[in-house]
Structure 1
């Protein structure tokens, strides 16, 4: 076990939102790390038990993997990425456990196939069922992440006076127009001085954009809402929505 089980609590003067505490740890207040990990052992145990579909106690390897994943989540969490820390930590723990379960399944496969008393076909069938269950679980997780991203993205759009309904009614109708708008949005995102101005004013910096793109002011203005919507997917780091902003085939 890499972490002490002492019942250490974050001091009253150290309290803040969970995300603030995580940021402080990342900035060097590492004394808060062990306290945070100890305080959230019940959370880790709950997530691990759900993934493994059985009770997990603190002596099991799966629990240690969950704690390590929680510690990694502290280091890799970023504010403004569209999710709270516990949502992010839940995802990291689940991914680490799935990797572990897959490795164990592969190891057991070799042990089963090397055993004279085991039936290779039965062992292979069991592994297929395990893999199918893991694949189904992964798809469920991806769907959940997409739902969360969509809800957060919807709120982000509202800050700019946009909605899905507006975009469906006023977005470009032709693939080449949409592709051009996506290119403009990506150009905006790639230049920090443009994206910073955009986020501050909530207006497209059209004049500055024209220095980097080969289209007219009229084109930008006509597709302004769609360009903003695409740029917000990039800026909000909504990874599950990235497929919606890939260039479309013109065939």
Structure 2
């Protein structure tokens, strides 16, 4: 279990371990699953809006989603592995909830049809309404995330309106800014500096990237917003904006 002892020292190690597991190393895969048990439970609990433990079916779904993320992860195309895994787990749990809702409604329908004392005229099974209900739950969750994210941004004197005006307009510039944000999010030192001082460690960043100080300053607000998003549990927002920020 030596892999587990150092697994969270840096997210670079995590990416390397994921590649090893993806290549077929079963021992590394098992260690990753074990080391990320809390992460899977936390992600599933957030999506389900209740505490999820290892005995719950939703945890099994989350674990399968994590495994799927390991197999599908591409470090050249995706964001950090944790971000990618959150999105996959979210999608699988939402699919599971939808299927379970339909299954339970079908069981209810069968029970009513077999009950001679009941009138099926009083029962209406509408799959569309079930889908709508699930979508409404997701809509509420998205709104809650936006409220929480806005509060975090306010701590850095940022707002959604301001970000709309300051975000890089060109795709290449946006991609570069995102890559810088990824470096900060993946570095404990840089990220902790941001959290503590509410500003970017520009001098240290300049050493790591071939970007001018002027460009860093111009995209400062956007970079901070992306860093905060990457290291959050806002799975719905990440899913929604993934194609925009990368």
Instruction: Give the TM-score taking structure 1 as reference length.
Output: 0.50
Q: Which runs of 4+ in 1 moved over 6 A?
A: 73-76, 94-97
* Contact 1:181–1:226 (Cα < 8 Å) also in 2: yes
Task: Kindly indicate which of the two structures has a greater share of residues assigned to helix.
Answer: 2
Q: Greater relative contact order (Cα 8 A, min sep 6): structure 1 or 2? A: 2
Find the residue that maps to 2:169 and give its secondary structure. Answer: coil
In structure 1, the residue matched to 2:157 is: 161
Find out whether 1:144 has 2:140 as its counterpart. Answer: yes
* Distance in 2 separating the partners of 1:97 and 1:132: 14
Aligned equivalents of 1:96, 1:200: Cα separation in 2: 39
Work out whether residues 175 and 245 of structure 2, in 8 Å CA contact, stay in contact via their aligned partners in 1. Answer: no
Q: Indicate if the aligned counterparts of 1:210 and 1:217 stay in contact, CA closer than 8 A.
A: yes
Secondary structure of the corresponding residue to residue 135 of structure 1: helix
Larger radius of gyration: 1
**Gap change, CA 1:189 and 1:173, over 3 Å in 2:** same
Q: Does structure 1 conserve the Cα–Cα contact (< 8 Å) formed by 2:177 and 2:223?
A: yes
Q: Is residue 222 of structure 2 the alignment partner of residue 222 of structure 1?
A: no
Counterpart secondary structure, 1:72 = coil
CA-based RMSD of the aligned residues comes to 4.0
Matched, 1:103 2:103: yes
The superposition leaves residues 33-54 of structure 1 with CA deviations (integer Å, 9 ceiling, x where unpaired) of xxxxxxxxxxxxxxxxxxxxxx
> TM-score w.r.t. structure 2 length?
0.51
* C-alpha displacement of 1:191: 1.2
Partner of 2:28: none
Displacement, 1:142?
1.1
2-side partners of 1:174 and 1:181: how far apart?
A: 11
Matches within 5 A, 1:116-195: 129=126, 131-195=127-191
Aligned to 2:206: 210
Q: Matched residues in 2 for 1:181 and 1:224: separation?
A: 9
**1:72 paired to 2:68:** no
Could you tell me how far apart the structure 1 residues matched to 2:195 and 2:130 are?
40
Q: Distance in 2 between matches of 1:149 and 1:137?
A: 19
* Residues paired across the two proteins, number: 155
Instruction: For residues 214-247 of structure 1, give each alpha carbon's deviation from its aligned partner in whole angstroms, at most 9, with x where no partner exists.
Output: 4232221110001111111122321111135424
Cα deviation, residue 160, structure 1: 0.3
Equivalent residues in 2 for 1:10-49 (5 A)?
A: none
Matches of 1:72 and 1:244, distance apart in 2: 24
For structure 2, the 5+ residue unaligned runs are: 1-47, 60-93, 115-119
